[in-house]
Amino acid sequence: MNNKNYRTLALVLLTIVYGFNFIDRQIMGILAPFIQEDLNLTNTQLGLLIGFAFAVFYTVTAIPIAWLADRFSRVNILAIALATWSGFTALTGLANNFVQIGLARMGVGIGEAGGSPPSHSIISDMYPKEERASALGVYSMGIPFGIMAAFFATAAIMGASSDEVDWRRIFIFLGVTGIVLAGIVKLVLKEPVRGAMEANDEKSSDKPPFFESLKTLLKIPTWWAMCFGIAFGSFVSYAKGGFQTKFLVTLDPSFDFQTLVILLGIINGTTYAGGAFFGARLADKWGSRDVRAYGWLPAIAIALCLPIGVLSWWAPTVEMNLLFSTIFLLLIGIYLGPSFAIAQTLAPIHMRAMSTALFFFILNMIALGGGPTFAGWLIDVFASYYNELDAMRYAMSVTAFIFIFSILSFIVVGKTLPKDWNEAEKRNSLESQPN
């Protein structure tokens, strides 16, 4: 179970599951123009469906699920969670109004809450801390691969032309496929020994109470700063992902939609993945000499994203927007591996699932809940003064400046990380010693 081949297989399977997590999120943004027209939704309602309706239940449910994952079979929790969110994805395709589709999105959020906390914990028990950022960087490629798969699935199932986009059929197909994958997870994955990479024993197997975990994690300055750094960075990223398809369809209605989603799929699957992978590798290499790299590298990448993100919304053509988006996605993916590594390395051994859950609570309440919801509301505000296209341009440009808070947070990470990193290594070493 601990051999290299199995470890690789397990990491690939967990990455695929994470990809399905993002397929079910991204598909709302991809099909937004058609869902909005079919159900007669405002931009604010659309933003709520992509963001807040999903994020609240996702984040709140993640904490008790993580508590369970630190005590019971993480593999079982992951399989049940995958089957749950996939089932509600299928039900999304049966919705006939805003309330019904909102309830389905809430169900997807509840299910997806059981995805990352047990997965992060499993990976951390299969890989030593020196390889953890790289392993989690591979895992994080589930994000771009999932987004890419969502675009490709849309292109494959939509029909022969842009006039034949059956958004309901696409949701049902993806939901059923996810349920099948849940069965594979249950059959293939095996529960690893907790703290195996820190040579733990009975002492480290103690299960800390929830509030003890919360108190411990919130006392780590770097952990806190990292959470806000990735949260504000993802705020802009989620807003962009939620409305980009709608923007491009509005920018050039004559551009073939099937071609558009294929191009977006390729861009998301290659550039974002490349950024996540090489960002993680660079962080591990640079961080081996200076751990501050785990903060400096994301700060630099996001600082470059701000002007490029603004320029993408003012591009005069679809092709120019896609060019800027390619550069944007390459840079934004860089912070994933370093951030995930910090969340796991700084956490006590048997608080790792909880660390991930609290990390994602902050991330998704701010980013996933706030980003698309804020952008949708702001588009409706600007629509009172400008046409639909310009309203989106002004709203998304304003949203991009939220990056400033991310940059400042990662600068703090770089300053405080050496002290917290050393303290974490000492604490985990003590936890792994015999009684």
> What are the pLDDT digits (tens) for 163-193?
667 888 889 999 999 999 999 988 888 877 7
Q: Is 178 exposed, middle or buried (0-12, 13-18, 19+ CB in 10 A)?
A: buried
Distance CA 228, CA 366 (A): 9
What six digits make up the tokens of 340? 């995930």
Q: Are 343 and 362 in contact (CB under 8 A)?
A: no
Q: CA quadruple 266, 270, 273, 279: dihedral positive or negative?
A: negative
Q: Are 142 and 19 in contact (CB under 8 A)?
A: yes
Q: How many CA atoms lie within 13 A of 380 on its CB side?
A: 13
What's the confidence (pLDDT) of residue 279? Answer: 79
Q: Which of 3-17, 162-176, 349-363, 395-409 has maximum average pLDDT?
A: 395-409
Domain CATH code at residue 68: 1.20.1250.20
Q: Does 208 have pLDDT greater than 60?
A: no
Q: Are 243 and 394 in contact (CB under 8 A)?
A: no
Which stretch of 98-102, 167-171, 275-279 has the lowest confidence by average pLDDT? 275-279
What's the confidence (pLDDT) of residue 207? Answer: 54
* Residue 373, phi then psi, degrees to nearest 5: -65, -45
What's the confidence (pLDDT) of residue 202? Answer: 42
What's the confidence (pLDDT) of residue 291? Answer: 78
Which are the contacts of 119, defined by CB distance < 8 A and separation ≥ 6? Answer: 14, 17, 18, 74, 78, 139
Q: CA quadruple 244, 247, 252, 253: dihedral positive or negative?
A: positive
Q: Per this entry, what is the length of the chain? A: 435
What's the confidence (pLDDT) of residue 163? Answer: 61
The H or E element that residue 348 is part of is none
- Alpha helices per DSSP H over 31-51: 32-39, 43-50
Which are the contacts of 319, defined by CB distance < 8 A and separation ≥ 6? Answer: none
* Tokens 């995805």, residue located: 115
Give the predicted TM-score (pTM) of the model. 0.77
CB-CB neighbours of 378 under 10 Å = 22
Distance CA 166, CA 126 (A): 42
Q: Are 301 and 334 in contact (CB under 8 A)?
A: yes
What distances in angstroms separate CA 113 from CA 34, 185, 390, one per listed residue? 27, 16, 36
What's the confidence (pLDDT) of residue 388? Answer: 92
Domain enclosing residue 282, as ranges: 4-431
Q: Are 52 and 365 in contact (CB under 8 A)?
A: no
Which stretch of 165-174, 229-238, 341-350 has the lowest confidence by average pLDDT? 341-350
Q: Is 303 exposed, middle or buried (0-12, 13-18, 19+ CB in 10 A)?
A: middle
Q: How far is CA 37 from the centre of its chain?
A: 27
* Tokens 């859950």, residue located: 357
- Cα-Cα-Cα-Cα dihedral of 161, 159, 238, 148, to 10°? -110
CB-CB neighbours of 8 under 10 Å = 13
Q: Please provide the average confidence, as pLDDT, over all residues in the chain.
A: 83
Q: Is 118 helix (H, G, I), strand (E, B) or coil?
A: helix
Which are the contacts of 320, defined by CB distance < 8 A and separation ≥ 6? Answer: none
Task: Specify the number of domains making up the chain.
Answer: 1
pLDDT digits (tens, 9 = 90+) for 144-164: 788 888 888 888 887 655 566
Q: Which has the higher per-residue pLDDT, 81 or 127?
A: 81
Q: Quick one: how many helices (H) and strands (E) in the chain? A: 21, 0
What six digits make up the tokens of 125? 């028990």
pLDDT digits (tens, 9 = 90+) for 405-435: 999 999 998 888 888 777 777 766 655 554 4
Distance CA 280, CA 341 (A): 9
pLDDT band at 205 (very low <50, low <70, confident <90, very high): very low
What six digits make up the tokens of 384? 């009172």
The H or E element that residue 308 is part of is helix 293-313
What's the confidence (pLDDT) of residue 160? Answer: 53
pLDDT digits (tens, 9 = 90+) for 253-276: 989 888 998 999 898 778 877 887
Q: Is 189 helix (H, G, I), strand (E, B) or coil?
A: coil
